[in-house]
């Protein structure tokens, strides 16, 4: 499996919304709903933010939402806050797990 | 409190071996899939291996034949035996609870450096 494709970086101002895309193929993202998203602050472990395309674990703010269309999944963060600045990784789990290359979110 | 604590990382020469451990508290590993995920310095996440509740194991192609995952239910620990290590295996290795579709709990990781 090849890595999923994410933009290297995105940015937004506090209060704005940003969307991070994650493009796979018809063999992973396009056919399975097992897409998840992870937030990682520098030097810290990844944290699950979204699973099964659009479900939020307990404790994750509803500012974080996920969706999927065709071979592309998306993570949208609305009402940006300073603490959202981090790296974000998508993952498609279909037998084995494949991650995206990661997107650095900068809050301006 | 739920915790996953990795240990066993360190500096090893190319061709050498290392055994990582993941001590779990707060849930029983015998009822859960467990995975190892690694992250090379400055790079993204890479899934390494999973062990299912029934004991079946699967590996990424990059480590197949060199790494072995195992589970010790009585101690509630998961191990990763790494042999024939290469410089490209240098990474922080994370232990994670695997829900077969996503990883919901992660440890803080242990750094493995393969260098002469």
pLDDT tens per residue across span A34-67 = 999 999 999 999 999 999 999 999 999 999 999 9
Q: Is A81 helix (H, G, I), strand (E, B) or coil?
A: coil
**A102 to B102: CB separation less than 8 angstroms, yes or no:** no
Question: Residues B18, B115: contact at Cβ < 8 Å?
Answer: no
Q: Quick one: residue B74, left, alpha or beta (phi over 0 = left, psi -120 to 50 = alpha)? A: alpha
By mean pLDDT, which of A7-11, A26-30, B108-112 is the weakest?
A26-30
Name which of B58, B60, B109 is nearest A45 (Cβ-Cβ): B109
3-class SS at A73? strand
Paired strand residues for A4: A100
Q: Taking the C-alpha atoms of B88, B89, B92 and B94 in order, what is their torsion angle to the nearest 10 degrees?
A: 140
* N residues, chain B: 116
Strand partners of residue A68: A73
Question: What are the pLDDT digits (tens) for B49-99?
Answer: 999 999 999 999 999 999 999 999 999 999 999 999 999 999 999 999 999
| Phi, psi of A70, rounded to the nearest 5 degrees | 60, -130
With CA atoms as reference, the chain B residue closest to A33 would be B101
Q: How far apart are CA B40 and CA B88, in angstroms?
A: 8
Interface test with A, best of B46, B98, B101 (most A CBs within 10 A): B101
- Interchain pair B45, A36: CB under 8 A: no
Residues with Cβ within 8 Å of A62's Cβ and at least 6 positions away in sequence, in order, are A56
Residue-level pLDDT at B95: 98
What is d(CA B12, CA B101) in angstroms, rounded to the nearest whole number?
33
Average pLDDT over residues A84-101: 94
């Amino acid at each position: 499996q090849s890595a999923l494709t994410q933009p290297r970086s995105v940015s937004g101002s506090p209060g704005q919304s940003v969307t991070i895309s994650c493009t796979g193929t018809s063999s992973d993202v396009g056919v399975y709903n097992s897409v998840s998203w992870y937030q990682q602050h520098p030097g810290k472990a990844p944290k699950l933010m979204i699973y099964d395309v659009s479900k939020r674990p307990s404790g994750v703010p509803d500012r974080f939402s996920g969706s999927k269309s065709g071979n592309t999944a998306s993570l949208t963060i609305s009402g940006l806050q300073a603490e959202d600045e981090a790296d974000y990784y998508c993952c498609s789990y279909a037998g084995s797990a494949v991650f995206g290359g990661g997107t650095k979110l900068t809050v301006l | 409190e739920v915790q996953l604590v990795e240990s066993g990382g360190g500096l090893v020469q190319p061709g050498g071996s290392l055994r990582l451990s993941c001590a779990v508290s707060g849930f029983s590993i015998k009822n859960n899939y467990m995975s190892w995920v690694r992250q090379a310095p400055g790079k993204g996440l890479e899934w390494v291996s999973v062990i299912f509740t029934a004991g079946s194991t699967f590996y990424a192609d990059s480590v197949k034949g060199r790494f072995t995952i195992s589970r010790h239910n009585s101690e509630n620990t998961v191990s990763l035996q790494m042999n024939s290590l290469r410089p490209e295996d240098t990474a922080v290795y994370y232990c994670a609870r695997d829900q077969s579709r996503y990883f919901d709990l992660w440890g803080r990781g242990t750094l493995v450096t393969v260098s002469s």
